[in-house]
A and B are shown apart, each in its own frame.
Chain A
């Protein structure tokens, strides 16, 4: 059943014969501008189906950040036919919800004023800040939610797919694209065309306001309740200056709270028009039949009135090194990030090889930081992330206990500097090219990932990247790599994040041995110590505690000794930071 795909011989600088894969993709464009990419593979009686809307958080403006992601949730809420018992009644309830929400917006606007003037604190959305009118409106909205619920056929899209043997229905949103996918049995491809064209042609954004509770939980889960999530978000915001990559995909919380249905409808009309969408099918099907179905189902959706606007903002050159020093629930880590190039740039192949040269146990970072200098744990990493309009290159490592993070920073930078100064040796370069080649095959092993790559590449630029990249990687020279490194790894292009373990987190066994009431007191003090940023003040505190420790009763003394130790550690930390500058 399987068939051998065509292989092409490439000529190389080195006298080694290398084979590259060519994925046979059939590309079709419908009259309305929608693109269809098809790859036949008959190993298993199923088809991986996906489509990508070429829109993500990069297309969002201040005030509506997070709309792409919220929208992704909306696309599962049904259509005029799916997900409802009575669409006419739906329309009525939704209109009334919008009216109440508009009234609430007026109250929120007042609360924003109060917050700016310092008359309330926290968030305008905190229940304790709600005005009587707002409470009234909220109660009304709750009633409308209840009515809406009665009229909804819960998760009907999922129900239908599941009942018909489809699996893995899901979607994700990134900075640059939103991808929707599912795997269907080979005989039910038409079901996919029916359901997906229906949700593009006739969507109804049900539960538009209540779904925000789910998005808030998602934010708690991914960002707020993970050790580094909230810091990573702020590091990103520090790194990107003038492109919309500055804001997180999930959106700033205040924006997500206030997005209106009107904004969502405008967004949909602009970015979910067929001329901004590529569908991808990989698996056991007949492309000719699939094309007929595409004309029949997707063909009924009209082209958007105008092409989606281009993203105009460019990342302005960074003028000074930026540093981000965080105390978190984590082992110490150093991450260094540089502005690089976007997807499709001629230098991206050199950047990929740069990362490969640094990675793995045979890579330069491991050899230097782990084997030679013995200052890092695990495997240090390098990563190149080309996005649609800009890209970055990052290296990082976990710091070995007792080692100053700045020593790790220095060692990471030294390896980057070496790449900028000396050309890479032939064998070393060939090694990473061999890996790229083998990986170009490995990436094609799964139908799902093949679908995903075609969707991602096409939304970033061109799906043909999948066939062109292997040869272009092989053509990179040692000189190309050196030039790219020299241009990129400069001091003013550098962004350094240093994470140290937050003082006073519960992992300290010495703290555990203190009696209960003392422990509470000590914990409070530890929080204070963690906030101290002035070495002189710490010295003063040490002197005070030393004095007191001499006179306190014996049972209390361990607490003082413990605090002293922590203060001294803090002092050393602060002085360490000072030295480095």
Chain B
């Protein structure tokens, strides 16, 4: 086949030589082959004392170095009634001083070195990251290790972080997008799942320094730890420094408990949240996604890409934006993660009168996918895109070591990357069709609509038969008080 294509290409090129050598169509261009070999994880991997995996890469492009220390453990570990503790830890861990340095001294020292040292506590993992000029690495590592082991959690900085968090909570209903994301998680995962348990003024006020110390102690443990380093450094020298540190880190290894799984069964139907002063509705449609290992991972990835994941080449964008001009953006995503299931979510924003029409179109496209009406050309475009953009996962040394560190953190085997392109190649129309039928289930769809509900329900005068009410039972969700999250109406 390859031979055939080259021949045709050469033939056409010859035929077009008179047109200034520029072929008439881009398909007539022929390209030299490109081979990309996945950089092997083993070539970066080192085991530090305490069985802490580290991925270290030398990169001399710029005189900078990045050291990132990851940990399993995050927001899901928050105690009930102390929601917000993870976010506060993420802030005060860095702002609260460390070792012999007060918060102000730590800030000044890092700023004078022009070093970036950031701490973050996410949903299921946390990290401390240092980036600075390679010449200052020794001083930077000292500060990094102090922040890791001896954070001071200064009370004044904690008070400041709490105050900032409460001010942030007050903004909760200002932007319709925030309301949409919050209610989406509540609807899909249920009110009691950790993702839906959000800080309130009361829970933030209840958090003490001791809570942060306790949460820090649970997360920052060699048993949960993975390290990534990339930059203008000598690998053996950096590994020696890391080894010395981890040897000296004498704490009892204590892994964090696994991430709890959702048990909630969402009730299908239409859920409406009223925000009077916007002229555009935000709509999300979908249900729970999946967790690895998922046999259909590659098939559903391709199917979703064709439905709405692929941007302008996907059906949703093409139909809802390009054909009908009903939205600026229309996308779908099928969330597959390693620790807990993501969500399948098709979403768009459209003026109030056309929200229903765009929702109908979305459903039509979902049905089309479930009927398996994927053309060979669409399939080829999608697969080729995944295969050819794959090397960009390894675009820089830093991205490469971070990728492998993530694997070590979540337990995904490094071989995932070695077989990725073959796995995509094997997806055929039938596999994509079957995966969509199994994993995208319209009868379970939750429709979340945020905007001026009265206007949205009126629909469009030119399309009186298109009514959101026809898509399922309707429930009005109250707007929630931003500080208590209690219903306002």
Contacts and interface: CB of A to CB of B under 8 A. Distances in A.
A218 to B, nearest CB: 4
A491 interface: no
A164 B276 CA distance: 45
B313 interface: yes
Given A43-B61, A435-B114, A512-B489, A221 B388 contact: no
Contacts of B33: 187
B36 interface: yes
Interface stretch (A113-121, A222-230, A312-320, A405-413): A222-230
B392 A509 contact: no
A163 B171 contact: no
A262 B10 CA distance: 41
Interface residues of A, number: 90
Contacts of A398: 167
Given A21-B62, A43-B61, A163 B174 contact: no
A214 B328 contact: yes
B313 A214 contact: no
B392 A44 contact: yes
Given A163-B381, A183-B392, A507-B482, A2 B322 contact: no
Given A2-B59, A154-B318, A361-B107, A377 B163 contact: yes
9 contacts: A44-B392, A82-B26, A163-B385, A166-B389, A187-B33, A300-B20, A330-B171, A507-B483, A512-B481
Given A2-B61, A160-B26, A163-B380, A507 B325 contact: no
Nearest to A198: B26
Interface in A138-180: 149, 154-155, 158-160, 162-167, 169
B420 to A, nearest CB: 14
A165 B61 contact: no
B108 A155 contact: no
Contacts of A159: 312-313, 381
Contact of B311 (A158, A186, A216): A158
A532 B95 CA distance: 43
Contact of B61 (A41, A76, A370): A41
Contact of B34 (A186, A220, A516): A186
Contacts of B31: 187-188, 190-191
Contacts of B394: 44
Interface in B365-402: 380-382, 384-385, 387-389, 391-392, 394-398
A577 interface: no
B481 A165 contact: no
Contacts of B104: 362
A441 B163 contact: no
Nearest to B327: A217
B34 A400 contact: no
Contacts of B397: 43
A57 interface: no
Given A44-B396, A362-B108, A441-B63, A220 B279 contact: yes
Contacts of B95: 361
B271 to A, nearest CB: 17
B349 A45 contact: no
A81 B326 contact: no
A45 B323 contact: no
Given A167-B392, A225-B176, A296-B22, A442 B64 contact: yes
A509 B483 contact: yes
Contacts of B174: 227, 329-330
Interface of B: 20-26, 29, 31-34, 36, 59-64, 95, 104, 107-108, 111-115, 131-133, 160, 163-164, 167, 170-171, 173-176, 275-280, 310-313, 317-318, 321-329, 349-351, 380-382, 384-385, 387-389, 391-392, 394-398, 461, 479, 481-484, 486-489
Contacts of A444: 61-62
A43 B61 CA distance: 9
A492 to B, nearest CB: 33
Contacts of A401: 167
A19 B488 contact: no
A445 B313 contact: no
A447 B395 contact: yes
Given A2-B61, A213-B326, A377 B167 contact: yes
B280 A217 contact: yes
Across the A-B interface, the 3 shortest Cβ-Cβ residue pairs:
A165-B388, A213-B325, A438-B114
Given A158-B311, A191-B29, A217-B280, A331 B170 contact: yes
A387 interface: no
Interface in A50-104: 76, 81-82
B350 A217 contact: yes
Given A377-B164, A438-B132, A81 B25 contact: yes
Given A19-B63, A155-B322, A437-B114, 7 more contacts: A165-B385, A165-B388, A166-B388, A220-B279, A441-B64, A512-B481, A512-B489
A431 B63 contact: no
Contacts of B392: 44, 46, 167, 183
A519 B394 CA distance: 57
B325 A211 contact: yes
Contacts of B64: 438, 441-442, 445
Interface in A180-221: 183, 185-188, 190-191, 194-195, 207, 210-214, 216-218, 220-221
A112 interface: no
Contacts of A154: 318, 322-323
Nearest to A360: B111
B175 A227 contact: yes
A456 B320 CA distance: 32
Given A158-B312, A162-B310, A512-B488, A195 B26 contact: yes
Contacts of A438: 64, 114-115, 132-133
Contacts of A505: 173
A158 B385 CA distance: 11
Contacts of B388: 164-166, 185
A351 B21 CA distance: 51
Nearest to B176: A225
B385 A167 contact: yes
Contacts of B396: 43-44, 445-446
Which of B113, B171, B310 has the most chain A CB atoms inside 10 A of its CB?
Answer: B171
Given A165-B385, A217-B327, A224-B280, A435 B111 contact: yes
A149 B323 contact: yes
A509 B29 contact: no
Interface string A280-302: 00000000000000001100100
A434 B112 contact: yes
Nearest to B20: A300
Interface string A27-44: 000000000000001011
B279 A162 contact: no
